[in-house]
Structure 1
Amino acid sequence: MGQNIASWASGMSILDRSDQYESYDPLHAFARDELLCKQAASSQATICHIWLHPNAFVLGQRDYRLPLAKQAMEWLRTNNFLPVIRHSGGAAVPLDPGVVNLSLIFPIRETSFHHDFTMMVQLIQEALAFTGLSVDVGEINGAYCPGDFDLSINGKKFCGIAQRRQLRAFSVQAFINAETSHYNRASLVRQFYERATAGAKATSYPKVTEHSTASLEELAHLGPQAAQTFITAIKDTLIANGAQLSNMQQPSNEDVHELAALLKQRYES
């Protein structure tokens, strides 16, 4: 993994917002990440942003271009999942209070890291070291939002990682299935693709199977409070490597809502 965690985590501010849902619209959380990136660029701060969200369905931009994506999004709404399009990489991901969202935010410096994804991998592996289980890296066949930096235990994916770059800062974003059964999430994604892909080439969307993913509650036996157990482990790991709980000034709700509206207009046009 190259550099140790302390080499990039020392001095990092931990912004834990997992105890608050600022709105039903998950674009507000992504907008907050964007504004935190701008803040990191201007202040040279490094930030860990932790958040949860009620039922939402985050589409990648390729997902949104599928032939019947808009009809499939309406189907999601009837099942109480709010669909939104994200501006970072990756494919469709369902969110609920059992999914921990984690962003590592850095200014881009002349000595900036070339292996951005590996910092997130390193953090999650070290945070879960207490379980005694091996956290493996590599794409899991049949998992939703597949990628080279899928994290898995015993062949089951529990985490996907994406990246968002601005001109002078970047964020590495992870979703971690911490609680409850994996089956419902994977089934929801599979059904979305079935509805959205009429006439699409077979290579244009992931082939999702329910048995390819799992949660930390299932894989690591973290118990029914697995999300908070995992969040605590992340914070403890960062603090042990020189990070601190944040008292930083956060973006205003007005700025967050304004940018979220702009992102919606830009990526759903």
Structure 2
Amino acid sequence: MQDLATLYPQKTWSVVNQQFSADQGQLAFAHANTLLALTKECQQPIIHFWTLEKTVILGMMDTKLPELTAATDQLTAAGYHYFVRNAGGLGIVADTGILNLGFYLPEVADHLSINAAYELMKTLFSETFNTSNITIEHFEVQHSYCPGEYDLSINGQKFAGIAQRRSKNGIAILLYASIEGDQQARGTLMQHFYQAGKAQQQTRWTFPDVHPETMANLADLLHQPLTVASVSQQLSASLQSNSGLTLQSDLQTLMQEADYQTQLTKNTQLLRRYQPGYQP
């Protein structure tokens, strides 16, 4: 099994930390797309920690809901922003208690399989939160929102989901993890979203029948007072101690340069065409 330490021998990993307000959802995702391009340009693996306030990030499959407008109206009524990401999959919730984490890996697609890439993220969490009475498992947690084979769970309750993108720029391994906050409310929000969208009337595409109790916060599952900031610090420490990575925050200046900002603007504009009601 491939591991992070041997992917890029003697290579320093760049770390980016960002926080976005609720009206910056498309910008947050545009940064993710732009950082994936930057990783190839610089031949530099990048780790991206980010948070986004009170937003539902919809997948393109969600736009197939029979009553999409009613579904998005439900989000707005609950006080949430929303946008559609230009990738497959289903909706996830973002707020200040949710950690979003990305690995952007250049030049490894030929020898890093899809499952091996997922395992990199799962192993990081298993090593970071390694206790005698806790086992982090991966399998699809039925009735969670955005269910997938690499849902991360403890005692059957999901706290994180992992996605993956492969392109000419490299591989992006993307995770969202519910760390703290009202996970019951997040689950109920998505349950009502799919109910308002008449999800069960759609026969061509399958949408989750969300049961809020299938998901929980990592803090609650570990019985620890965790925050997004503390988990980010623990994951970074684990990357250095368990995986032997050298981390540095050296991209901020580069991200302010004209080339990056031009690509960021382009990616933000591309996202607009995926939004409900878009008119060119």
- TM-score, normalised to structure 1, is 0.90
The answer (yes or no) to whether the contact 1:37–1:171 under 8 Å persists in 2 is: yes
- Map 1:86-101 to 2 at 5 A: 86-101=85-100
1:242 to 2:245 alignment: yes
The number of residue pairs the alignment matches comes to 265
1:147 to 2:148 alignment: yes
- Map 1:31-42 to 2 at 5 A: 31-42=30-41
**Closer, same or farther: CA 162–137 of 1 in aligned 2, 3 Å:** same
Structure 1 letter corresponding to 2:220: E
Superposed CA offset, 1:201-248 (max 9, x none): 39620111011000012101221x422221111111122222312212
- Aligned residue for 1:50, secondary structure, equals strand
The more displaced of 75-84 and 28-37 is 75-84
- Aligned residue for 1:134, secondary structure, equals coil
**How many Å separate the matches in 1 of 2:99 and 2:59?**
18
Structure 2 letter corresponding to 1:260: T
1:207 to 2:213 alignment: no
- Map 1:8-23 to 2 at 5 A: 8=7, 11-17=12-18, 20-21=19-20
- Map 1:178-217 to 2 at 5 A: 178-197=179-198, 199-201=201-203, 204-217=206-219
- Aligned residue for 1:24, secondary structure, equals helix
Task: Report the equivalent of 2:135.
Answer: 134
Structure 1 letter corresponding to 2:155: N
Task: Report the equivalent of 1:63.
Answer: 62
**Closer, same or farther: CA 258–179 of 1 in aligned 2, 3 Å:** same
Task: Report the equivalent of 1:170.
Answer: 171
**How many Å separate the matches in 2 of 1:206 and 1:228?**
30
Task: Report the equivalent of 1:263.
Answer: 271
Structure 1 letter corresponding to 2:49: I
Task: Report the equivalent of 1:220.
Answer: 222
The alignment's C-alpha RMSD in Å is: 2.1
Superposed CA offset, 1:39-96 (max 9, x none): 1112211001000110000111111111111221122122221111112332111111
The answer (yes or no) to whether the contact 1:14–1:243 under 8 Å persists in 2 is: no
* Structure 2 gaps, min length 5: none
Task: Report the equivalent of 1:85.
Answer: 84
**Closer, same or farther: CA 214–131 of 1 in aligned 2, 3 Å:** farther
Task: Report the equivalent of 2:3.
Answer: 4
- Aligned residue for 1:204, secondary structure, equals coil
The answer (yes or no) to whether the contact 1:136–1:153 under 8 Å persists in 2 is: yes
**How many Å separate the matches in 1 of 2:211 and 2:217?**
15
Structure 1 letter corresponding to 2:231: F
**Closer, same or farther: CA 128–253 of 1 in aligned 2, 3 Å:** farther
How far did 1:267 drift? 5.3
- TM-score, normalised to structure 2, is 0.87
Superposed CA offset, 1:103-135 (max 9, x none): 000113475411221111111211222585110
**Closer, same or farther: CA 109–218 of 1 in aligned 2, 3 Å:** closer
The more displaced of 201-210 and 155-164 is 201-210
**Closer, same or farther: CA 131–101 of 1 in aligned 2, 3 Å:** farther
**How many Å separate the matches in 2 of 1:141 and 1:23?**
29
**How many Å separate the matches in 1 of 2:126 and 2:49?**
17
The answer (yes or no) to whether the contact 2:45–2:106 under 8 Å persists in 1 is: yes
Identity %: 25
**How many Å separate the matches in 2 of 1:254 and 1:218?**
42
1:159 to 2:167 alignment: no
Write out the 4+ residue segments of structure 1 that deviate beyond 6 Å after TM superposition.
none
